[in-house]
Amino acid sequence: MTAFCAESLTEWGRRWLRCQGLELDIAPVRKRSWPHGRTPRASNTPPEVRGGASPPADGWLEDLENKYDPRFAAAAELERHATLIQQFALALVPGLLQTPDYARAVFAAYRLNRTDQELDRHVVIRTERARILDGPSAPVVWTLLDEAVLRRCVGGPQVMAEQLHKIADLAEARRIRLHVLPYRVGAHALMESLLTLMSFEDSAPVAYVDAFETGRLMDDPPLVSACQTAYALALSDALSQQESLALVRSAAEEHTHDQQ
């Protein structure tokens, strides 16, 4: 599992990571170079651990734990600093690309007994992540979708059509590189998992896999390399960007037709 620099963590940080299923590689310690020198810490981390930096009133990992699902908090922080993001989705549109209505439909489907205000908060937090796609420092984003993502009608035909048009618009604006794995491919290298690969300017790459009520962030080189190989194999089976764009637009029109 994920290895972190044990020397950089407070006891709170160690407990938090263990709760998320992340192991500490202590013997030998393999240092993890967190982007911009940021390491998981609580607000009471002493100066010698902070490396002399002046942190916000609250530790960033505490803030993220409250903002995001705990299993995704560390990945969310890394996402903000990645120079390259390669994402694969098996059944749902990746969170980074979701429209508010699509995101709300996803949350409403499995977050039972939540008020409208609570759902609104989850939607805002998710859609705010898309801000990393704006500006000159935005990462390069590769998006690989199984065709099932296009066909599953989440939130109704109108919501789905708008969602697919957004993805196509981002691809046409060259904000994402879009590829679709069509049904006719059959079995492919990523059909058992959701996967996000992140690369950084001054740090080793990581991989994040997500499933029901679980999430695993990996930086162990052999595991990350295996994920990168699986992504490359699946990508080799995908449609070209232009073919993928045409398929996404066509699926959006089919959803639009279904609402009439």
Beta partners for residue 208, in sequence order: 196, 217
Q: Where on the phi/psi map is residue 214: left (φ > 0), alpha (ψ -120 to 50), or beta?
A: beta
pLDDT over 60 at 65, yes or no: no
For 168-186, how does the pLDDT look when each residue is reduced to its tens digit (9 = 90+)?
999 999 999 999 999 999 9
| pLDDT band at residue 66 under the 50/70/90 scheme | low
For 119-148, how does the pLDDT look when each residue is reduced to its tens digit (9 = 90+)?
888 888 888 888 888 877 789 999 999 999
Going from the N-terminus, what domains does the chain have, and what CATH number goes with each?
1-67 (no CATH), 70-258 (3.30.870)
Length of the chain: 260
Question: Beta strands 140-146 and 177-181: pairing type?
Answer: parallel
Residue type present at position 151: R
- Cα–Cα distance measured from residue 167 to residue 172, given in angstroms and rounded to the nearest whole number: 9
- What does the pLDDT average to over 213-229? 92
Percent share of the chain, pLDDT over 90: 52
What is the reported pLDDT for 163?
98
Cβ neighbours around 122 below 10 Å, total: 18
For 77-128, how does the pLDDT look when each residue is reduced to its tens digit (9 = 90+)?
899 899 999 999 999 999 999 999 999 999 999 878 888 888 888 888 888 8
- What does the pLDDT average to over 45-73? 47
- 15 token code pair: 């407990």
Percent share of the chain, pLDDT over 70: 74
What is the reported pLDDT for 96?
94
Beta partners for residue 29, in sequence order: 26
Contact 97, 166 (CB under 8 A): yes
What is the reported pLDDT for 63?
53
Q: What is the mean pLDDT of the chain?
A: 79
pLDDT over 60 at 73, yes or no: yes
pLDDT over 60 at 2, yes or no: no
For 8-54, how does the pLDDT look when each residue is reduced to its tens digit (9 = 90+)?
333 433 444 444 444 433 333 334 444 544 444 333 333 222 233 33
Q: Tabulate helix, strand, coil % of the chain (nearest 5).
A: 50, 15, 35
Helix pair angle (100-110, 116-128), 10° resolution: 130
Burial of 231: CB neighbours in 10 Å, binned 0-12, 13-18, 19+: buried
